[in-house]
Amino acid sequence: MLLSDRAPRANSAPAPAAAETAKAERYPLDAFLTGIAQQQWRNRTVELSKIKTAADVQTRIKFIRSEFLNAIGGLPKERTPLNARITGSLERPGYRIEKLIYESFPGCFVTANLYIPTTGAGPFPAVLGAAGHAMPEGKAYPTYQPAFIALALRGYVVLAYDPPGQGERVETSESPSRPLNPIGHISPGLQCLLTGGTSARYFMWDGIRGFDYLLTRPEVDPQRIAAAGNSGGGTQSAFLAVCEPRLAATAPSCYWTSWEALWTTSGPQDSEQVLPGWIKAGLDFSDLAVAFAPKPIIMLTATKDMFPIAGARAMHAEAKPLFALLGAEAQCGYFEYDDGHAWSKPRREATVAWFDLWLYQRNQPAPEPAIPPEASAALRCTETGSVYTSFNSLTTQKLNQGLAETIYPRRTLRTIVDHLTTRAVIAARLKMPESRTPAPTRTIARLTRPGATFETVILTTEIGVEVKIQIAIPAGSGAKIPAIVVCRDYAAPIDLDADPEVLSWRQAGCAVVVAPVRGLPATPEKKTSYTTAYQTSMRALLIGKTMVGMRVQDLLAVYDYTAGRPDIASADISVLGRGPLGVIALYAAALEPGIARIIADRSLVSYMDLVRARSCSEIHVDLIVPGALLDYDLPDLAAKIGPGRVLLVNPLSGDGQPVSEKTAQSIYGKNARVVISTAPITPSLAH
């Protein structure tokens, strides 16, 4: 969690019933997305009820692992040289700390502290200590060190390592005061989604290569290697239980809950924790534990955690019978303490006791010795305290960019000619229907004034989704007239008779349709992380949808309604999209040849530019389509639309900065016209 171990919260309530959810929307699309999720949870309950035998459990374990690996984009195939080096050591009574650096990928440096017992006979069991979101200390965080020290004093080798974005792997630019990723783990996670995976792929590989390093140490028993961590480290150790079969035991802390409980409280968190399609596939937190069965795993929980305790209790109750079917009921552990979100002493002691039980067969309490933690600087492995400034280390963004550069030339849409196949490829990525039927409509207001008629119409674009559009029809001869569909980046209604933009199009003889597609805030949001757009987008991904697909579906319904009006010239309908909705307009025109032209104002220039950006701007968070770059980029959509039909006005880069006319034109070529202008978009500019 980006909130880290420093931020305990009050105990969260379990998820409300569907009727209660529908009463008050906490965010746009709350009731709609929650209704889908609840049906998927009901479907899951039915599937779990069918598990009756050990063979059924083994079948589910294979399914969980397959879905997990598919969601994160798989694991790398090649284990490159670790090039491990020890940069220093600290001698302490009963243990030694070695300062380690290894390369999980060539040029990607992982910093770690290796705690080694100096008494007793080895080889010893070992523990991968995954740091949570503790800024800036990472592995050196004061509440983590006591766990590592206690384990070392009880005869464990501990590899405590910094994950991406933490400790000595905080990614900074040339100016140490300016963070490279101002929206934390969210930024590289969004970029990774575009290449068909998640940033969890890189988190997992760091841990897996840490395991590989432990195998090189003569002090370590290769059959007794475990994993533990709190918060973000709890996520990592739970995920490693799914994808690292060599682990002997795990103890994830302050991560366990259920998606149903988390859904209606703090919601989806950092993007490495979001597995696309996970809820739709009928999977939940308990499945992470079941995937490790019959080996020992314990759910370490806090009653006042941001991860609701009711969900954790439910997940343990769900997992334990499945372990029992494998004859391993005792291996499904659970520990709860009445405190907040942290790797506090009770959970640290429970961690050590759990490993003692299964790796040493010692069934007894493990009181933690009162040993003060080291100063963070004393545990540094690099000279500067940063792998970025010391070695110009590859970051998650750079690793993902390298993958993107490899797949980019092979994207499938470039070789597809016919429109039906093009539509099928795009619709599949957007998780939306290929075909559509006219949306039911109802007019709720109609007002005639000198010069124009104004209407308000509601379109039911999907069961449970209504889009309220406003229409201005200029007075005229009665002949069919062209129309412009205007998609703004907020949902608040406007005064059609006073709005300058609407007036300019009316004066040019155009009907104006103001169309706020689903999921928009009433007014533009000011937050820079965990925004409404981010939270809503992640909820959509979890249940097998995309915000882009749902909005394109709405916009096409608006187009169909507009084209079907008797007063509109159906062959002359343009679409203007502002901000992220410019990309939605681009998608709509690629799917609907009847759209005459689109105007994208202050919109993302390309997905590839976003992937290449060192930091993804928060204004692009609801434009992410998992795996899009395997099939197409935004310029490819423009190519399918055709020359003369796409106008880009003031395009933006992946980090939210203006793109020059020359650069944008070089990306789109003849398939778009690029204009850089501070003036309002007028009919003359659009044509």
Stretch 276-292: mean pLDDT, rounded?
98
Stretch 433-453: mean pLDDT, rounded?
94
pLDDT given at position 176: 41
Q: How confident is the model at residue 186 (pLDDT cuts 50, 70, 90)?
A: confident
Does the pLDDT value for residue 282 go beyond 50? yes
> Could you say which of 29, 50, 71 is where a domain stops?
50
pLDDT given at position 686: 67
Does the pLDDT value for residue 436 go beyond 80? yes
Does the pLDDT value for residue 18 go beyond 80? no
Say yes or no: 356 and 426 in one domain: no
Identity of the highest mean pLDDT range in 3-7, 234-238, 495-499, 612-616: 234-238
Say yes or no: 172 and 211 in one domain: yes
Stretch 591-599: mean pLDDT, rounded?
97
Let me know if residue 8 belongs to a domain: no
Give the chain's mean pLDDT. 92
Half-sphere exposure of 638 (CA within 13 A, CB side): 28
pLDDT given at position 144: 97
Report the greatest alpha carbon distance in the chain. 97
Stretch 17-46: mean pLDDT, rounded?
79
Let me know if residue 582 belongs to a domain: yes
Say yes or no: 428 and 350 in one domain: no
Let me know if residue 100 belongs to a domain: yes
Let me know if residue 545 belongs to a domain: yes
| Eight-state DSSP code of residue 179 | B
Distance CA 248, CA 127 (A): 10
Residues 111-155: tens digit of each pLDDT: 999 999 999 999 999 999 999 888 789 999 999 999 999 999 999
pLDDT given at position 667: 97
Does the pLDDT value for residue 1 go beyond 50? no
Q: How many CB atoms are located within 10 Å of the residue 46 CB?
A: 9
Let me know if residue 288 belongs to a domain: yes
Pairing of strands 95-105, 108-117: antiparallel
Q: Which tokens hold the place of 18?
A: 């569907």
Does the pLDDT value for residue 328 go beyond 50? yes
Say yes or no: 367 and 477 in one domain: no
Does the pLDDT value for residue 344 go beyond 60? yes
Say yes or no: 328 and 456 in one domain: no
Stretch 6-24: mean pLDDT, rounded?
36
Does the pLDDT value for residue 180 go beyond 80? no
Percent of the chain at pLDDT > 70 equals 93
Say yes or no: 208 and 321 in one domain: yes
Q: Is the pTM of this model over 0.75?
A: yes
Let me know if residue 475 belongs to a domain: yes
Stretch 215-238: mean pLDDT, rounded?
97
**CA 425 → CA 420, 632, 642, distances in Å?**
9, 9, 18
Q: Which tokens hold the place of 6?
A: 């420093």
109 DSSP β-pair partners: 103
Q: How confident is the model at residue 469 (pLDDT cuts 50, 70, 90)?
A: very high
Percent of the chain at pLDDT > 90 equals 84
Does the pLDDT value for residue 6 go beyond 70? no
Does the pLDDT value for residue 635 go beyond 80? yes
Quote the number of domains for the chain: 3
Say yes or no: 538 and 478 in one domain: yes
Sign of CA dihedral 149, 103, 275, 12: positive
CA-wise closest residue to 157 among 130, 125, 129, 122: 125
> Could you say which of 356, 384, 405 is where a domain stops?
405
pLDDT given at position 522: 78
Does the pLDDT value for residue 175 go beyond 60? no
Domain span including residue 602: 417-686
pLDDT given at position 403: 97
**CA 281 → CA 39, 47, 146, 284, distances in Å?**
12, 11, 39, 9
226 close to 127: Cβ distance less than 8 angstroms: yes
Let me know if residue 201 belongs to a domain: yes
Pairing of strands 568-578, 597-601: parallel
**Bigger pLDDT: 173 vs 388:** 388
273 close to 538: Cβ distance less than 8 angstroms: no
Stretch 345-354: mean pLDDT, rounded?
98
> Could you say which of 354, 375, 405 is where a domain stops?
405
Half-sphere exposure of 683 (CA within 13 A, CB side): 18
Say yes or no: 221 and 364 in one domain: yes
CB proximity list for 664: less than 8 A, separation 6 or greater: 605, 648, 651, 672, 674
pLDDT given at position 24: 55
CB proximity list for 491: less than 8 A, separation 6 or greater: 28, 516, 520, 521, 522
Q: How many CB atoms are located within 10 Å of the residue 544 CB?
A: 15
Q: How confident is the model at residue 183 (pLDDT cuts 50, 70, 90)?
A: low
pLDDT given at position 528: 66
Q: How confident is the model at residue 492 (pLDDT cuts 50, 70, 90)?
A: confident
**Bigger pLDDT: 531 vs 641:** 641
Does the pLDDT value for residue 178 go beyond 60? no
Q: Which of 538-547, 599-608, 618-627 has the lowest mean pLDDT?
A: 618-627
Say yes or no: 252 and 217 in one domain: yes
Distance CA 238, CA 250 (A): 7
> What CATH number corresponds to the domain at position 142?
3.40.50.1820
* Residues present in the chain in total: 687
Say yes or no: 451 and 387 in one domain: no
Say yes or no: 496 and 597 in one domain: yes
Peptide bond before 117: cis, by omega within 30 degrees of 0?
no
Stretch 297-326: mean pLDDT, rounded?
98
Does the pLDDT value for residue 529 go beyond 80? no
Q: Which of 13-27, 328-342, 426-440 has the lowest mean pLDDT?
A: 13-27
Stretch 13-25: mean pLDDT, rounded?
41
Say yes or no: 470 and 618 in one domain: yes
pLDDT given at position 172: 54
Let me know if residue 574 belongs to a domain: yes
Does the pLDDT value for residue 16 go beyond 90? no
Q: Which tokens hold the place of 114?
A: 């290796």
